[in-house]
Amino acid sequence: MRVLIVEDDRVLADGLMRILRRSNHVVTHENNGKRADHLLTAQKFDLVILDMGLPDMDGSEVLRRLRHRGVKVPVLILTARVKVEDRVQGLDFGADDYLAKPFDLLELEARIRALLRRGQSASSAELHIGELCLDTVGNRATLHGVPLDLSARELCVLEILALRVGRVVSKEQLSEQISGLGDEMSSNAIEVYVHRLRKKIEGGNVNIRTLRGLGYMLEKI
């Protein structure tokens, strides 16, 4: 699942990214309202965690623009604003849930799970590329209908590439995402995971192509 965190508090953002990556979610972080608005016009996410107090563009305006474009992605507001009118305004602009800072991490995780389930009820959780099928909710992959034996990191690499099928993903991007599952990943470790995945998806009309100096791209063949 792809999650966008829009939060200008770096410590809080880092904590949120660790929580989400432990569950094998693909996480993107942005700390600026205008850049988040641009990102949301260019990419698709399964959940947005949105702070209200952001530089350059307030979170409420980011949310208003998102809904004006007809995007129905679940949005969880995080804010230090505790007045009832602030909460009502956020919900009126189209937020799905609201959590005031400071908050309990267990409650946050429960709300995230609920919103992801709600979002998945309106869209398919499966990605199909050639004979490869990736279930982003069940955290499993099959080839010709046969389950693939993948480690957590291999599955994470595959999901990152599948969510960006036909686009280049750099080693740095892969390392940043996988690092949430444990120690920081080296460039050599990334190469090992990609090599293993290539072998496991052989014969499925899908391939991981290396673009020297740029990164990797999952493509149907």
Identify whether the C-beta of residue 97 lies closer than 8 Å to the C-beta of residue 174.
no
Which amino acid is present at 20? L
Q: Evaluate if residue 149 carries a pLDDT over 90.
A: yes
Residues 8 and 108 in one domain: yes
Nearest to 77 by CA among 104, 53, 44: 53
Residues 98 and 133 in one domain: no
Structural domain total, the chain: 2
Element (H, E) at 154: helix 152-163
Residues 157 and 195 in one domain: yes
At 45-80, the pLDDT tens digits run 889 999 988 999 999 899 999 998 888 889 999 887
Least confident of 29-43, 117-131, 132-146: 117-131
Residues 42 and 11 in one domain: yes
CATH number at residue 35: 3.40.50.2300
Task: Write the burial class of residue 17 (CB in 10 Å: 0-12 exposed, 13-18 middle, 19+ buried).
Answer: buried
Q: What angle do CA 48, 52, 58 make, to 5 degrees?
A: 105
Residues forming a β-bridge with 95: none
Chain centroid to CA 164 = 11
Q: What is 61-129 written as a DSSP string?
A: HHHHHHHHTT----EEEEES---HHHHHHHHHTT-SEEEESS--HHHHHHHHHHHHHHHHTTS--EEEE
Domain holding 198, by residue range, is 126-220
Query: Domain boundary residue among 120, 148, 166?
Result: 120
Residues 113 and 143 in one domain: no
Query: Domain boundary residue among 120, 139, 173?
Result: 120
pLDDT at 137: 65
pLDDT at 179: 63
**Range from 109-113, 144-148, 164-168 that averages highest in pLDDT:** 144-148
Residues 65 and 79 in one domain: yes
Residues 25 and 113 in one domain: yes
pTM assigned to the model: 0.58
Least confident of 44-53, 139-148, 179-188: 179-188
Residues 6 and 96 in one domain: yes
pLDDT at 184: 60
CATH number at residue 150: 1.10.10.10
CB atoms within 10 A of CB 193: 20
